[in-house]
Structure 1
Amino acid sequence: MNVKINRIEYYHPETKYSNEYFMKHFSKQGTDISGLLEVTGRDSRYISEDFHENSLTMAIEASKKVIQNANIDVNDINLVVFVSTTPEFLSPTNAVKIHEALGLGKQAIAYDMNGNCAGMIIAVDQVSRIMKTNDRIKYALVIGSDQLVRYSRRTEAITYSNFGESACAILLENVDNHPSDFLDSSSYVDSSLSGYINFPPSGFSKVLPLDKHTEKDNRIIEWIDFDTDEAFASSVDSINEILDRNNLSKDDIKLYCLSQFAKKNIELIQEALKEPNHKFPFVGNKFGYTGVTSPFIALTDSIEKNKIQRGDHVILWTVGAGVVASCILLRY
Structure 2
Amino acid sequence: MLPLKIKEVAIYYPENVVTNEMYIQHFEKRGQDVRRFLELLGRKERRINTDPNETTVTMALKAIEQVLTKAQLTADDLQMIIFTSQTPETTVPSNAMQIVAALKPQPQTITYDLNANCAGMTVALEQVSHYMASNTAIQHALIIGADALPLIANDNDPLSYAGFGDGVAAIIVERSADATSGVIDAMYHVEATTIDKMVYPANGLQQTILEQQDFANIHMVPFDGGIVLEPTYHMFDTLFEKHHIDPQAIKYCFTQFAYNNIAKIKEHYHLRDEQVTYVGDRFAYTGTSSPFFAFHEGIQNGTIQRGDIVLLWTIGAGFELIATLIRY
Shared fold (TM-score, shorter chain, > 0.5):
yes
What's the CA shift for 1:237?
1.3
The DSSP-based 3-state class of the residue aligned with 1:9 is strand
Q: Retained in 2: the 8 A contact 1:64–1:102?
A: no
Match of 1:323 in 2: 319
Distance in 2, matches of 1:41 and 1:251, equals 23
Paired residue type of 1:267? A
Q: 1:232/1:291 Cα in 2 relative to 1: closer, same or farther (>3 Å)?
A: farther
Match of 1:292 in 2: 288
The DSSP-based 3-state class of the residue aligned with 2:174 is strand
Paired residue type of 1:308? I
Distance in 2, matches of 1:314 and 1:168, equals 17
Distance in 2, matches of 1:262 and 1:298, equals 13
Distance in 1, matches of 2:252 and 2:230, equals 15
Aligned: 1:271 with 2:267: yes
Paired residue type of 2:311? I
Aligned: 1:236 with 2:237: no
The DSSP-based 3-state class of the residue aligned with 1:207 is helix
1:251-279 C-alpha deviation (Å, 9 max, x unpaired)? 431x1111111111101011111222221
What's the CA shift for 1:69?
1.6
The two structures have a TM-score, normalised by structure 2, of 0.97
Match of 1:203 in 2: 204
Q: Retained in 1: the 8 A contact 2:167–2:289?
A: yes
1:154-183 C-alpha deviation (Å, 9 max, x unpaired)? 111110011001000010000113422111
Distance in 2, matches of 1:65 and 1:297, equals 14
Distance in 2, matches of 1:44 and 1:257, equals 19
2:252 to 253, 256, 265: 256
1:128-162 C-alpha deviation (Å, 9 max, x unpaired)? 11111111101000000111111111111110011
Distance in 2, matches of 1:157 and 1:148, equals 13
Match of 1:220 in 2: 217
Aligned: 1:310 with 2:311: no
The DSSP-based 3-state class of the residue aligned with 1:307 is coil
The two structures have a TM-score, normalised by structure 1, of 0.95
Q: Retained in 2: the 8 A contact 1:201–1:219?
A: no
Distance in 2, matches of 1:73 and 1:227, equals 45
Distance in 2, matches of 1:283 and 1:275, equals 17
The DSSP-based 3-state class of the residue aligned with 1:311 is coil
Distance in 1, matches of 2:245 and 2:278, equals 24
What's the CA shift for 1:106?
1.0
Distance in 2, matches of 1:55 and 1:73, equals 21
1:37-72 C-alpha deviation (Å, 9 max, x unpaired)? 110111110010111111111111111110012111
Distance in 2, matches of 1:291 and 1:10, equals 13
Paired residue type of 2:309? H
Match of 2:20 in 1: 19
Match of 2:136 in 1: 135
Distance in 2, matches of 1:183 and 1:75, equals 28
Distance in 2, matches of 1:53 and 1:86, equals 13
Q: Retained in 1: the 8 A contact 2:207–2:213?
A: no
Paired residue type of 2:208? V
Match of 1:100 in 2: 101
Distance in 2, matches of 1:100 and 1:204, equals 27
The DSSP-based 3-state class of the residue aligned with 1:86 is coil
Distance in 1, matches of 2:134 and 2:94, equals 25
Q: Retained in 1: the 8 A contact 2:311–2:323?
A: yes
Distance in 1, matches of 2:290 and 2:304, equals 18
Match of 1:72 in 2: 73
Match of 2:194 in 1: 193
Distance in 1, matches of 2:29 and 2:131, equals 52
Q: Retained in 1: the 8 A contact 2:9–2:170?
A: yes
Paired residue type of 1:310? R
Distance in 2, matches of 1:308 and 1:319, equals 22
Aligned: 1:246 with 2:243: yes
Paired positions, count:
327
1:22-171 correspondence to structure 2 within 5 Å: 22-171=23-172
Q: Retained in 2: the 8 A contact 1:179–1:310?
A: no
Q: Retained in 2: the 8 A contact 1:207–1:219?
A: no
Q: Retained in 2: the 8 A contact 1:8–1:170?
A: yes
